[in-house]
Structure 1
Amino acid sequence: MEIIKRGAEALIYVDYFEGRKVIVKERIKKTYRIPELDFQLRRDRTRREAKLLTEARKAGVPTPQVFYVDEVNSKIYMEYIDGYKLKDIVDFISENEIIDIFQAVGENIGRLHSSFIIHGDLTTSNMILKEGKVYFIDFGLGFFSKRIEDMGVDLNLLREAVKSTHFHFLNLIWENIVIGYKKSFKEWEKVLKKVDEIERRGRYVER
């Protein structure tokens, strides 16, 4: 078992399932919680994430395919995506590649929002490039919502993540995310207005 990430809520590792290499996300037991409540929370969050991954895939967004959900042990067995995290390659690719990749990112976010899926943790660490496709991973903080506010927060989180991690490319990346988003989500104007509003609120709080 090769551990990929050990977080506060879950352990992510490489394993094998029915002869194929997979990623397993296992939600960790919390001893400070009442056992029955802990089981219910982990089971429900595991179910929700598996459903989000599956619905996103149905909407045309590349995500790891879910092979099996073990609700008793709060594990999701999913496709192993052998690619590169966008976070690790943005500094080493051409401007044209940045344009193509982030327009695709924007289009896929638009597809998520068209299906009322909020990712909840849109960062370049949760996007993997493989054979020209950008796969979205880790829907652990995701949920379903029709609220423009939630979609605005989703996009704003990505903008802030890009500003923090890829500051020198912020304008280029954001412009192309917006171009892609407009192509695939008909309510784009309302959401982008909300992003601006959220950003203004943030600046006001900082003062």
Structure 2
Amino acid sequence: MEDEQKSQLIKQGAEAKVYITTLFTKPQLLSPITGQSSVPVKTSSRSDKVLLKYRFPKTYRHPTLSTQLTASRTTAEARALIRCARVGVNTPKIVCVDEEQGVLGLEIVDGYSVRELLGGGSEGEDEYEEEEEVQPSNQIASEELILLTNEEGLVIMRKIGIQLARMHQAHIIHGDLTTSNMMVRRQKGAASIQSAEVVLIDFGLSLNSTSAEDKAVDLYVLQRAFASTHPDSEHLFDEILKAYQDIIENKPVLYDPKVKAEKGTVAGPTHWKEIKRKLDDVRLRGRKRSMVG
């Protein structure tokens, strides 16, 4: 399926390695939900290049347990991506899945992370393990990195809020929301940032939950990431929450008309108030934790 000599390691974390490589077979999308195969997937403009996320074995685990956990987590991540796509959340397309080997093939998102575009520093606090970036995005993206202006940054924040609201309306919790896990994909030839897409990536810690507190924790993790990576960014996170609130209160999930809608999606002022109340509670607990160490 791939040429190992042409594989390029771009990131390595505690759970997985991420490569750019070349596929020599024509991939098909296999749905972990239905088990049915669809038409061959067009990955991106770089049709011969794909991103491979490889969950490597853990030597400290029993081999059987390691295999089961790897398969379960790989399948869960693929399912989360499919559910997101159904409700209009921008995520990388799935190219291939090999749950037994812990391999997830994804399209390459041609762009830069929000962290890079905002000129942010490195991420990483005691409670979060930072991934090592082996290859910077300027070796992957087709265009030169140009930092966002303040006005452009606010536009992107609103787009982030919309994506997060749609994701939470489908009861998908990302689990690791940082500005490194959000890519900005510009339309080719477009001068304005208005036409750009925010693409959410890395659903390795995602889960399904209807809990308002789980959604609030998801948002709080992102708020902490902004505080540690982007100083004086309170106004940026506030813009995310405004767009998030607007979608949750007023707009239903946008479904692909060709796909059967997911059950249990929610919207409305009551649900937003519950999420906001839980977010305030989580913030308070976070401040108390910081005070006592």
- What is the TM-score of this pair, normalised by structure 2? 0.68
Which residue of structure 1 lines up, in the alignment, with residue 177 of structure 2? 122
Aligned positions of 1:27-176 closer than 5 A: 27-91=55-119, 92-131=147-186, 132-168=196-232, 170-176=233-239
Residue 100 (structure 1) shift: 0.8
In structure 2, how many angstroms separate the alpha carbons of the residues matched to 1:135 and 1:202?
28
Aligned letter for 1:135? V
Equivalenced residues, count: 206
Structure 1 unaligned regions, length at least 5: none
> Is 1:203 matched with 2:287?
yes
Q: Secondary structure at the match of 2:118?
A: helix
> Is 1:177 matched with 2:240?
yes
> Is 1:12 matched with 2:18?
yes
Residue 72 (structure 1) shift: 2.1
Q: Secondary structure at the match of 2:110?
A: coil
What per-residue deviation string (whole Å, max 9, x for no partner) do you get for residues 60-93 of structure 1?
A: 1110000110122110111111100110111431
Which residue of structure 1 lines up, in the alignment, with residue 272 of structure 2? 188
In structure 1, how many angstroms separate the alpha carbons of the residues matched to 2:247 and 2:51?
29
Give the structure with the larger strand fraction.
1
In structure 2, how many angstroms separate the alpha carbons of the residues matched to 1:178 and 1:82?
26
Moved more, 33-42 or 186-195: 186-195
Residue 188 (structure 1) shift: 2.0
Q: Secondary structure at the match of 1:80?
A: coil
Q: Secondary structure at the match of 2:22?
A: strand
Aligned letter for 2:273? E
Q: CA contact under 8 A between 2:157 and 2:236: conserved in structure 1?
A: yes
In structure 1, how many angstroms separate the alpha carbons of the residues matched to 2:290 and 2:114?
29
Structure 2 unaligned regions, length at least 5: 1-6, 27-46, 120-146, 187-195, 249-266
In structure 2, how many angstroms separate the alpha carbons of the residues matched to 1:200 and 1:137?
29
Residue 189 (structure 1) shift: 2.1
In structure 1, how many angstroms separate the alpha carbons of the residues matched to 2:67 and 2:73?
10
What per-residue deviation string (whole Å, max 9, x for no partner) do you get for residues 109-166 of structure 1?
A: 0001000000000000000101110100000111000011100100000001001111
In structure 2, how many angstroms separate the alpha carbons of the residues matched to 1:21 and 1:182?
37
Q: CA RMSD in A?
A: 1.1
In structure 2, how many angstroms separate the alpha carbons of the residues matched to 1:206 and 1:97?
33
Give the structure with the larger helix fraction.
1
Aligned letter for 1:40? Q
Aligned letter for 1:2? Q
What per-residue deviation string (whole Å, max 9, x for no partner) do you get for residues 85-107 of structure 1?
A: 11011143112111110111011
Q: CA contact under 8 A between 2:114 and 2:183: conserved in structure 1?
A: yes
Residue 171 (structure 1) shift: 2.1
Moved more, 173-182 or 119-128: 173-182
Which residue of structure 1 lines up, in the alignment, with residue 140 of structure 2? none
Structure with larger Rg: 2
Residue 58 (structure 1) shift: 1.3
